[in-house]
Structure 1
Amino acid sequence: MPIRHRLLAVVVAVLWGANFIAIHASLEVFPPFLCAALRFLLLAVPTVLLVPRPQVPTRWLVGYGIGFGILQFAFLYLAMDVGMPAGLASLVLQSSAPFTVVLGAVLLGERLSPRAAAGVGVAALGMAVVGSERLDAQAGLLPFVLTLLAGLGWAFGNLASRLAAAPRPLHLTMWMTVIPPLPLLLLSLLVEGPEQITAALADSWSVAAIPAWLGLAYTTLLATVLGSGIWTWLMARHPSGTVAPFSMLVPVTGLALAWLVLGETPAPLELLGGVLVVGGVLWASRTVRTKGTPAARHGDIRLEVHEESLEHTQVSPAR
C-alpha cells in the first residue's frame, strides 16, 4: 500500500473520529432512526438528480447501502441514544476491522501475512483494553452490543464496496445513500412513532437546534461524501484486510475530541490502549524493503516488497 494511500486512510480516520461528536450533537434534537434517515436523505435527493449511477452490479450497490448505511448507523445511533458515550462508541465501532478481516478470509478467500495478522491482533487488544476500562463505568451491556452490531454491519459494507470495484468510487458512495432513507424512515415511524418525529422536527427550527443541524451537515458532507468516498476508493484498490485496520485509528481521534469537547476524560489504561491501536495499525501496514542488490535496485530506485502477497490482486465478484 503506497504511502500516499496510507495518508489518505489516516485522513479518513480523523474525519470519522470527529464524526462521533457531530452525531452526539444531532441526537440532542433528533431521535436515532430519524436522525440516521435525515443523514442519508439530505444526500440521496441530489444524488439521484445529479450523479450518474455507478457502473457496478446492483447487488453490491444494495449490499453496500444495507451494510454500511442501514445496519451500521441504525445500530450506532441507537447505541449512542441509549447511553454509549461518543468516545467509547468511536472505539467499539472499530470492531469492523477484525470483522472485515474474518469475513474477507471466510467469504472472499483473502489471506493475511503473519505481520498483518499480528498487527490486527495488537490493535484489537488495544481496543479491548480501552473498552474494558470504560464499559463498566459509562455504558451497559446493551449499548456495547448494539455498537458491535454496527461494526459488523460496517464490515459487510466494506466487502460489498470492494466487490463492487467501482471505476468511480465517489459515485458508488453517493448512490449508496439512496438505499438507507426509506427503510430508516419506516423504522423511525414504527419504533419512534409520529408524535416523537413531529415534535423533533418542530424543535429543530429553534436556535438551540443549530448544533444538531451542523452535526448533520458534518456527517453528510465530510464524513459521508469525503470520508466514505476516499475509503471506498481505497477498498477498491487494496484487499479488505489491508485497508480495514486503518479504521482502528478512528478511536484515537474520537477519544481525544470527546475529552476536549464533551469532558470524557480518558484514563491511563485508555491511553495505553490507544497506543496499542496505533502501533498495531502501523505494524499491520508496514512495508518491508529489500536490501540493495543488483536484482532489487536500478540506479537510485529501490523496489518495495509487501509481505501481503495478495495486496494488489483483484477479487472477482461472486456470481
Structure 2
Amino acid sequence: MNLRNVISTPESIVAAFVLLATLWGSSFVAIEAGLHYFPPLLFAGVRYAIAGAIVLGFAAVTSGRTLPRRRDEWLGIAVAGAFVIAAYHGLLYVAELHVTGAVAAVIVSLSPVLTATFAALVLPNERLGPVEIGGFALGILGVVVIADPLGAGTGSAALFGVGLAFAGAVSFSLGAVLLRPLRTDFPIAALQGWAMVAGAGALFVGAAALGESPAAIVWNVTSVASLSYLTLLSGVVAFLIYFALLDEVGPTQLHLVGYAEPVVAAVGSWALLGSLIEAEALVGFVAILAGFAMLERHEIAAYVGVENPFRAH
C-alpha cells in the first residue's frame, strides 16, 4: 500500500500528524525504559540495524531502485548515517542515562531552531537577520533554563545529560542541512534505509570502543517490548509516515511535529514510569517554541494566510 495515496485528505493528514507525534514522542519513553537492560550504543545500533534492513526491503518493493550509483548519493548516505542516525542517537541514548525521556524530548525539540539557523549560515539562499538571531537566542535560552546550571551545579549528572541531548540535536540539525544540497532522485526510503544500516555500523564501532558487550543485554519482556516498539513502530512505521507527510505538507509544517513530541513524552513518562516534568523544562519548551516561530515566521504566516505578523503597522 502506498501511504501517499492514503494520506491525502485534511482529515488523514491530521490523523497521520498525531500518529507520528505519538510514535516519536513515546520513543523517548521507550528508550528510557530499555536503557535499564541495554548498553546505550548497542541498544541504538541493534534498533537501526533491524529497522534499516526492513526499510531497505520496503524500498526494494516500492521504489524499484535501492542501490546508490553516484558520488553524491553515497555522500548523502554517509552524511545521514553519521549525523542523523549515529551521532544523534548515540548522544541521545547516553543522555537518557542522566535525564528523563521527557526532558530529552524538550531539548531535542530545539532541532528545528538549529536547522533553520544552520541553513542560514551554510546555504547561500538562506538569510540570518536580527529576528532570526533573536529566535536562535530564545531557543538556546530555553535549553539553558532546562539545564539550570546554577541550581544543578556544573558537575551534575543531569547537566551532563542535557549537554549530550543538546549535542545530539545539533548533530541531527547539521546533518539535515548538509543533506539538502545532496538530494537527488535517489528514493528517500532507500536513502534512509542505507543511512540506518551505516549509522548502526558506526554505533557498533562506538559501542566496542567504549567496552559495551552484548553479554550485558538483559532479555526480558520489557527489553524485548522496548526494542520492538522502537524498531518497528517508532522506527519503520513512523519514518514511512514521515516520508508521506513530507510530500503532502512540506518541511516547515512537518517540523511542528517536534513540538508535539515532548507533550507525548511527558504524558508517557508520567503514566508508565511515574516521572513528572519540572517547571523549568516547561518554561524552556515555551522559549524554544517561540524561537522557532521567529525563525520560521514567513513560512508560518504563508501557511495560515497571514502576510507577515511581524510587519509594523
The TM-score with structure 1 as length reference comes to: 0.72
Q: What is the Cα deviation at residue 92 of structure 1?
A: 1.5
Q: Find the partner of 1:224 among 235, 246, 270.
A: 235
* Structure-1 separation of matches of 2:111 and 2:39: 24
With 105-114 and 14-23 compared, the bigger mean Cα shift is at 105-114
Alpha-carbon RMSD: 3.9
Contact 1:252 1:274 in 2 (8 A): no
Contact 2:91 2:167 in 1 (8 A): yes
Amino acid at match of 2:239: S
* Structure-1 separation of matches of 2:225 and 2:291: 34
Contact 2:80 2:176 in 1 (8 A): yes
Q: Find the partner of 1:174 among 190, 193, 199.
A: 193
Q: Find the partner of 2:121 among 78, 103, 106.
A: 106
* Structure-2 separation of matches of 1:135 and 1:13: 32
Relative distance call for 1:88 and 1:166 in structure 2 (3 A) is farther
Q: What is the Cα deviation at residue 177 of structure 1?
A: 1.4
Contact 1:161 1:236 in 2 (8 A): no
- Aligned pairs (5 A) from 1:114-263: 126=142, 128-132=144-148, 136=152, 139-163=157-181, 164=183, 168-193=187-212, 196-200=213-217, 203-204=218-219, 209-232=220-243, 243-244=254-255, 246-263=257-274
Q: Does 1:89 align with 2:104?
A: yes
Contact 1:85 1:139 in 2 (8 A): no
1:221-274 CA-partner distances (Å, limit 9, x unpaired): 222223333445556788766644542332222222212222222344544544
Partner of 1:297: none
Q: Find the partner of 2:28 among 20, 24, 28.
A: 20
Partner of 1:316: none
SS of residue matched to 1:192: coil
Contact 2:56 2:190 in 1 (8 A): no
1:288-315 CA-partner distances (Å, limit 9, x unpaired): 589xxxxxxxxxxxxx57769xxxxxxx
* Structure-1 separation of matches of 2:242 and 2:216: 36
Contact 1:165 1:236 in 2 (8 A): no
Partner of 1:65: 81
Amino acid at match of 1:14: T
Q: Which runs of 5+ in 1 are unaligned?
A: 291-303, 309-319
Partner of 1:42: 50
Partner of 1:287: 301
* Structure-2 separation of matches of 1:114 and 1:174: 39
* Structure-2 separation of matches of 1:58 and 1:237: 27
The TM-score with structure 2 as length reference comes to: 0.73
- Taking only the aligned residue pairs, the percentage that are identical comes to 21
Contact 2:112 2:292 in 1 (8 A): no
SS of residue matched to 1:178: helix
Partner of 1:317: none
Q: What is the Cα deviation at residue 214 of structure 1?
A: 1.3
With 219-228 and 60-69 compared, the bigger mean Cα shift is at 219-228
SS of residue matched to 2:110: helix
Contact 2:117 2:132 in 1 (8 A): no
